[in-house]
Chain A
Amino acid sequence: MRRLLVGSGAAVFAVLLIGALLEPLPGGIDLRIAVASHMAASGVEHPVTAVLLNFRGYDTLLEIAVLLLAVIVILAGGLDPAVDRPRAANPILQSLARLATPPMIVVAVYLLWAGAFRPGGAFQAGAVLAAAAVLLHLTGLLPSWQRPALSLRWGMTAGFLIFLAVATGLLAQGALLRYPPAQAGLLILLVEAGLTVSLGLILAGLFLFLSRDPGDEE
């Protein structure tokens, strides 16, 4: 009965939503023109990167703060640190993972650099770094993180701190995150480099902190 009720409710909701989507918006604002007309002052050539780090940089600043918060809550939630037993390691997988890791780091740096003028950027680069760490963990080369060392803590917060420092540094010149057009490209690259390292460590940490609890201690 409840199933039927919720199911039909969701179906009605979907039909109404699609009906609303198909109606043309009266007097819609076209942001594409606004973005295109400010691209020259943004310091980068790829519009998505310009929106992420310049026009709507505030969103990205809050996003890295949210990610940091998620890791802190996971650590505070206190999964019991398990005894670290080495996983059954397959030597072929291990040597393949060893071979794959350096190119993955190169790909991450390329994505970071390419973000200025084509699809790519800090998020994708950070995701590739995190994937490399997860791969090393799954092949038994990297133990799960029991508790964060000091260098790891600094690495995870570096992206947020650099971004915040740049943002407040620019406050002296008038407004939060309003880059001067001449230095915008360099500042965005600096912020993105910090974001890449921190995002890689945070996303890897989400996996490596959670996987320290293998679940079979009983």
Chain B
Amino acid sequence: MSLAFDVLLALSLIWSGVRCLSVERLDRAIVLFIAFGLLMALAWARLAAPDIGLAEAAIGAGLTGALLLDAWGALKRRRP
């Protein structure tokens, strides 16, 4: 049962990673990256590493996502 969940989680990680790098629109790519970070936090929980899970959810998904979206907005607004 838990192995089935692990396989599903691993497949979702790879799928969101592939989509994040291949999707056409940049804003979707960034949102997919945030989803990827949250899936990583789940993987850390499954690997019995709650410390990393906490940090990944707050920093890897939250702060990195905010930084990327802010940069995307700035690049888009400045475009002539």
Q: How far is the CA of A8 from the CA of B55 in the complex (A)?
A: 34
The answer to whether A119 and B54 touch (CB under 8 A), given A214-B74, A216-B78, is yes
Total number of residue pairs linking A and B with CB closer than 8 Å: 55
Contact A218 B71 (CB under 8 A): no
B74 partner residues in chain A, CB cutoff 8 A = 211, 213-215
A211 partner residues in chain B, CB cutoff 8 A = 70, 74
- A67–chain B nearest beta-carbon distance, Å: 11
Q: How far is the CA of A131 from the CA of B54 in the complex (A)?
A: 13
What residue of chain B has the Cβ atom nearest to residue A123's Cβ? B55
Interface string of A197-218 (1 = CB under 8 A from B): 0000001001100110111101
Interface of B is mostly: helix
Contact A131 B70 (CB under 8 A): no
Q: Is B24 an interface residue (CB 8 A)?
A: no
Q: How far is the CA of A218 from the CA of B73 in the complex (A)?
A: 14
What residue of chain B has the Cβ atom nearest to residue A111's Cβ? B54
The answer to whether A127 and B77 touch (CB under 8 A), given A119-B50, A134-B66, A211-B70, is no
Q: Is B4 an interface residue (CB 8 A)?
A: no
The answer to whether A206 and B67 touch (CB under 8 A), given A120-B54, A127-B55, is yes
Contact B50 A131 (CB under 8 A): no
Contact B51 A131 (CB under 8 A): no
Interface residues on A, range: 20 to 34
Q: Is B59 an interface residue (CB 8 A)?
A: yes
Contact B51 A119 (CB under 8 A): yes
Q: Which residues of chain A (141-193) have a CB below 8 Å from chain B? A: none
Contact B77 A131 (CB under 8 A): no
A215 partner residues in chain B, CB cutoff 8 A = 73-78
Contact A207 B51 (CB under 8 A): no
Interface of A is mostly: helix
Contact B63 A127 (CB under 8 A): yes
What residue of chain A has the Cβ atom nearest to residue B70's Cβ? A211
Q: How far is the CA of A121 from the CA of B51 in the complex (A)?
A: 8
The answer to whether A207 and B78 touch (CB under 8 A), given A124-B58, A127-B55, is no
A120 partner residues in chain B, CB cutoff 8 A = 51, 54
Q: Is B62 an interface residue (CB 8 A)?
A: yes
Contact B78 A210 (CB under 8 A): no
Q: Which of A124, A210, A216 contacts B51 (CB 8 A)?
A: A124
Q: How far is the CA of A138 from the CA of B69 in the complex (A)?
A: 12
Contact A48 B70 (CB under 8 A): no
Interface string of B38-80 (1 = CB under 8 A from A): 0000000000001100110011001100110011011111101
Residue in B50, B59, B73, B80 whose Cβ sees the most chain A Cβ within 10 Å? B59
Q: How far is the CA of A216 from the CA of B76 in the complex (A)?
A: 9
Q: Is A128 an interface residue (CB 8 A)?
A: yes
